Amino acid sequence: MDLARRFSNFVFGMECLGCGSTSEVLDPWLCPACRQALANESKETRFPNDDVVCLFPMRTLSRRLVHALKYKSIPGVASYLVRRSSLCNRGLASQFLAQFPEPYFFVPVPLHRARYRERGYNQAEKIAAALAWAVHGRVCKWLYRKTFHVSQTKLSREEREWNVAGAFGTMLPEKMPTRGTVFIVDDVFTTGATTGACMAAFGKDFPLNVKICTLLYEEPATAVMDFVADNSVEWNP
């Protein structure tokens, strides 16, 4: 094994985040088989509605990667996934963004301070930074969280909406841009309760289009079953 590979394995670990195999050809997080599987999943861009693009469907592999991003202190997974998405490969996500006027402003869903202290970073900010890098946009922290809400994993659509209603406020610059598109950024889109509450915070008179971009799309009907299958993951879509 060459020196560069040894260093990579020391820094990033020697197990594939997808299947757990101890491969010597990690890149640095996936083995060749899982890399190919992720490439296939990147072609399955999801559009839950006209305002939302999700770069990957939630599958076992993509769920494990976002789990590592959120709970294993591996923030680099955010840029890893964005670089391998259809946004960077001139696919459906790229075509979706191209419909809207530039510049693009990527606004991460904020974490409550208590969760930020637990993780040391906000995964949505890491995703927003990767998206901005990919399309020459800007990261704008225009949202703040007013309240700390409970985990939404096992809540119904109505309960999720109630849980985050009024949870966010805006901190806008005095001189707002007069053109461009805002993309609210989060890790997972399930029912849209959280990102919908973020959109509502901007209000009806906000001068720019507001859309949503997430890494994963999880079918609402399967959210609880996925949690049971991987009960170490606490999703807060």
Burial of 75: CB neighbours in 10 Å, binned 0-12, 13-18, 19+: buried
Sorted by where each starts, the structural domains of the chain and their CATH numbers stand as 1-41 (no CATH), 42-229 (3.40.50)
Question: Quick one: pLDDT at residue 133?
Answer: 97
The one-character DSSP state at 221 is G
- The segments of the chain whose pLDDT lies below 50 read 1-10, 150, 152-155, 158-163, 224-237
Using DSSP's 3-state secondary structure scheme, residue 185 falls into strand
Q: DSSP alpha helices (H): ranges in the chain?
A: 3-12, 32-41, 60-71, 77-83, 92-98, 113-119, 123-135, 157-164, 193-202, 223-229
Q: pLDDT tens across 156-187, in order? A: 554 444 445 568 999 999 999 999 999 999 99
Question: Quick one: pLDDT at residue 149?
Answer: 53
Whole-Å CA distances, 184 to 11, 17, 216: 31, 27, 14
Question: Quick one: pLDDT at residue 150?
Answer: 47
Q: pLDDT tens across 25-51, in order? A: 899 999 999 999 999 999 999 999 999
In the numeric block, the tokens 């904020």 are attached to 110
The reported pTM is 0.82
